[in-house]
């Protein structure tokens, strides 16, 4: 059997049926009734003890949503979603009010342990003083906010971050504790009317993370959120808002998993980033939602709106994403380059296998003077999947000296998958310099044969070649996650699960 054929066969048998995060946690949960109505929106708001302005904001979004229709322009196909057949709120039933990590339901802690997210361990590290001559453990510490179905269950390192003045908490708490910040920035990057899914999110979002880094502060550790969908038929609508005030820096990572389910689950998140003068935000995603089984049944519909606003001069926002999961991905982390000399970056690895459909890319909207952006996209399609890069680079009339460099590379494994590149470029002034490079290649028989002749198995060879292909992007991930991401890439393409 020719090498590539064999790889294709192997790829067919694997991945999706061996999704390693596909377990369900048996805990009591509290759910709102199925379906969506003003009552449900009020229910959610009430559950969260929200002030009235927040409820009004949600209701406005809900009423707007009723007038909107689902977008159909993406290169993805799926049966019509019945939005009345979804639970919009599910929360693990707390036995009592939680005041410390020790009071979290052990079942939930176990879940995160299985996922490799050491909530407890990380928290314990907190008290450890660095020994003389040892690397400062703070450098390796990661603050975690864990979101289980609709609710944030634990945020670690709160105290230490507070010392630095960094606010990192569930957004539901921020709405109560820092209303002035939330009111000022929420919806300022992705307005409630932005698009069908963002509007839906605005109406029903239940939790998510909130970060505020004060002027001149370099956030002392990586911030991280893990999202987990557990309940059946439950939509997850998290909302993330990150504000980097003047001259500050923050690096943030999100990870996502879900149990294996026959039915599809909806995930419609909104992420808003705001970078003021001289501030920098680095946002990394390792997305591994359940992709559906080998017949294309089940999996997460991932309809996400992510946008960063380089509001200040010399500000910088960098998106790095490793997308391996979801049945359908519809996602375009974008940058609005509003401030002069601001910079936007987008580094992406999107892997599709089985029957997955990916339509992802970015938008770089140059508004300020001398703004620059860089897009490096690596799409890998295997099995019967479809993988589309869709990107927009635009320079406003006043955005003199705008520069963009785009490189989109696609790698095909087998002959039943597809890779598509849809770039839109608009320059409304003559001083803009936009470069676009795109390649599509098949993983070559000759390269695979070379590797196996040197003793690598077929799978190791594919893993090696693919990891080489995505190396430029992997290097952009925080060190702690690059290794994990590399493993994930091998797992999504090979049978070496476990």
Q: Which of 88, 283, 319, 469 binds other proteins (CB under 8 A)?
A: 469
Q: Which of residues 3-22 bind other proteins (CB under 8 A)?
A: 3, 5
> Which of 33, 71, 130, 468 is in the footprint of other proteins by CB under 8 A?
468
> CA 177, CA 212: separation in Å to the nearest integer?
12
Q: Which is nearer to other proteins, 1 or 132 (CB)?
A: 1
- 408 vs 470 by CB, closer to other proteins: 470
Min separation Cβ 462 and other proteins, Å: 12
Cβ-based nearer residue to other proteins, 99 or 453: 453
Kindly state the number of chain residues that form the binding site for other proteins, as judged by CB under 8 A.
27
Least distance in Å: CB of 3 to other proteins?
A: 5
Taking the least distance from each CB to other proteins, the nearer of 3 and 270 is 3
Question: Which range of residues in 1-9, 127-135, 213-221, 284-292 is near other proteins by CB under 8 A?
Answer: 1-9
Least gap, CB of 362 to other proteins (angstroms):
22
- Give CA–CA dist 341/399, Å, rounded: 10
Q: Tell which one of 68, 181, 438, 464 touches other proteins (CB under 8 A).
A: 464
- Tell whether residue 472 is a contact of other proteins (CB under 8 A): yes
Q: Are 203 and 41 in contact (CB under 8 A)?
A: yes
Q: Is the Cβ of residue 39 or residue 437 nearer to other proteins in the bound state? A: 437
For residue 139, the minimal CB distance to other proteins (Å) is 24
Kindly state the smallest distance separating residue 457's Cβ from other proteins, in Å: 5
The reply to whether 2 sits near other proteins by the rule CB under 8 A is yes
The residue among 245 and 494 lying less far from other proteins, judged by its C-beta, is 494
The nearest distance, CB 472 to other proteins, in angstroms, is: 7
Q: Note whether 108 binds other proteins by CB under 8 A.
A: no
Determine which residue in the list 11, 104, 122, 465 makes contact with other proteins, applying CB under 8 A.
465
Q: Closer to other proteins at the Cβ: 233 or 496?
A: 496
User: How many Å apart are CA 47 and CA 180, to the nearest integer?
Assistant: 21
Min CB(152)–other proteins separation in Å = 38
Cα atoms found within 13 Å of the Cα of residue 384, Cβ hemisphere only: 11
Per CB under 8 A, the segment of 65-73, 283-291, 381-389, 460-468 that binds other proteins is 460-468
Cα maximum dimension of the chain:
68
CB of 347 to other proteins, least distance (A): 14
SS (H, E, C) 191-229: CCCCCHHHHHHHHHCCECEEEEECCCCECCCEEEEEEEC
Tell me how far, at minimum, the Cβ of 113 lies from other proteins, in Å: 30
Name the phi and psi angles at 10, rounded to 5: -65, -45
Segment lying near other proteins (by CB under 8 A), choices 2-10, 90-98, 186-194, 326-334: 2-10
Among 470, 485, 489, 493, interactor with other proteins by CB under 8 A: 470
Please identify, using beta-carbon distances, which residue of 55 and 456 lies nearer to other proteins: 456
Paired strand residues for 291: none
Q: Which is nearer to other proteins, 412 or 465 (CB)?
A: 465
First to last CA, the chain: 27
| CB atoms near residue 232 (< 10 Å) | 15
* Cβ-Cβ contacts under 8 Å for 197 (sequence gap 6 or more): 268, 303, 304, 305, 330
Site string for other proteins, 429-458 (x = CB under 8 A): ---------------xxxx-xxxxxxxxxx
| Sequence-ordered list of residues with C-beta below 8 angstroms from that of 193, at least 6 positions apart, any chain | 61, 64, 199
- Interaction residues for other proteins, span 353-382 (CB under 8 A): none
Shortest CB 470 distance to other proteins, Å: 7
The answer to whether residue 407 forms part of the interface with other proteins (CB under 8 A) is: no
CB of 473 to other proteins, least distance (A): 10
- Asked whether the beta carbons of 344 and 307 are under 8 A apart, the reply is no
C-alpha–C-alpha distance, residues 65 and 309, integer Å:
24
Assess 422 for contact with other proteins (CB under 8 A). Answer: no
Shortest separation between residue 348's beta carbon and other proteins, angstroms = 16
Distance CA 209, CA 155 (A): 9
The dihedral through the CA atoms of 297, 300, 303, 307 has a sign that is negative
* Contact pick of 95, 140, 428, 471 for other proteins (by CB under 8 A): 471
Contacts with other proteins, residue ranges (CB under 8 A): 1-3, 5, 444-447, 449-458, 460, 464-465, 467-472
């Amino acid at each position: 059997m020719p090498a590539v054929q064999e790889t294709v066969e192997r790829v067919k048998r694997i991945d999706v049926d061996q999704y390693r995060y596909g377990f369900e946690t048996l805990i009591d949960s509290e759910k709102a009734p199925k379906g969506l109505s003003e009552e449900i929106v009020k229910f959610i708001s009430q559950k969260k003890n929200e002030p009235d302005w927040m409820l009004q904001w949600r209701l406005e979004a809900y009423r707007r949503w009723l007038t909107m229709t689902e977008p159909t322009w993406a290169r993805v196909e799926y049966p019509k979603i019945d939005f009345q057949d979804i639970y919009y709120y599910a929360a693990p039933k707390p036995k009592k009010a939680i005041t410390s990590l020790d009071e979290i339901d052990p079942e939930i802690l176990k879940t995160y342990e299985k996922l490799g997210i050491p909530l407890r361990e990380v928290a314990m590290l907190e008290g450890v003083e660095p020994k003389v001559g040892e690397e400062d453990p703070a450098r390796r510490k990661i603050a975690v906010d864990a979101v289980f179905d609709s609710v944030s269950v634990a945020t670690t390192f709160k105290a230490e971050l507070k010392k630095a003045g960094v606010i990192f908490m569930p957004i539901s708490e921020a709405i109560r504790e820092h209303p002035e910040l939330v009111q000022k920035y929420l919806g300022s990057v992705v307005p409630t009317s932005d698009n069908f899914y963002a509007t839906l999110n605005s109406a029903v979002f239940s939790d998510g993370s909130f970060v505020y880094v004060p002027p001149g502060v370099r956030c002392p550790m990586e911030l991280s959120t893990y999202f987990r969908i557990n309940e059946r038929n439950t939509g997850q609508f998290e909302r993330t808002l990150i504000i980097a005030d003047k001259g500050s820096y923050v690096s943030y990572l999100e990870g996502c998993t879900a149990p294996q389910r026959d039915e599809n689950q909806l995930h419609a998140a909104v992420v808003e980033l705001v970078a003021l003068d001289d501030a920098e935000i680095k946002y990394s995603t390792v997305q591994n939602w359940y992709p559906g089984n080998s017949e294309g049944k089940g999996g997460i519909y991932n309809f996400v709106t992510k946008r960063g606003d380089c509001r200040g001069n010399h500000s910088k926002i960098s998106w790095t994403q490793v997308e391996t999961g979801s049945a359908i991905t519809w996602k375009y982390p974008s940058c609005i380059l509003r401030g002069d000399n601001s910079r936007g970056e987008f580094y992406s690895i999107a892997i599709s296998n089985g029957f997955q459909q990916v339509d992802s890319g970015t938008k770089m909207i140059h508004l300020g003077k001398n703004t620059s952006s860089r897009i490096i996209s690596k799409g890998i399609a295997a099995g019967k999947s479809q993988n589309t890069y869709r990107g927009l680079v635009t320079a406003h009339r006043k955005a003199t000296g705008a520069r963009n460099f785009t490189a989109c590379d696609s790698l095909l494994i087998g002959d039943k998958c597809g890779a598509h590149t849809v770039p839109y470029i608009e320059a409304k002034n003559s001083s803009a310099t936009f470069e676009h490079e795109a390649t599509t290649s098949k993983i070559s028989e000759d390269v695979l044969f070379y590797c196996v002749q040197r003793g690598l198995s077929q799978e190791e060879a594919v893993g090696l070649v693919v990891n080489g292909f995505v190396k430029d992007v992997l290097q952009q991930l925080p060190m702690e996650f690059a290794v994990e991401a590399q493993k994930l890439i091998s797992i999504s393409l090979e049978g070496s699960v476990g």
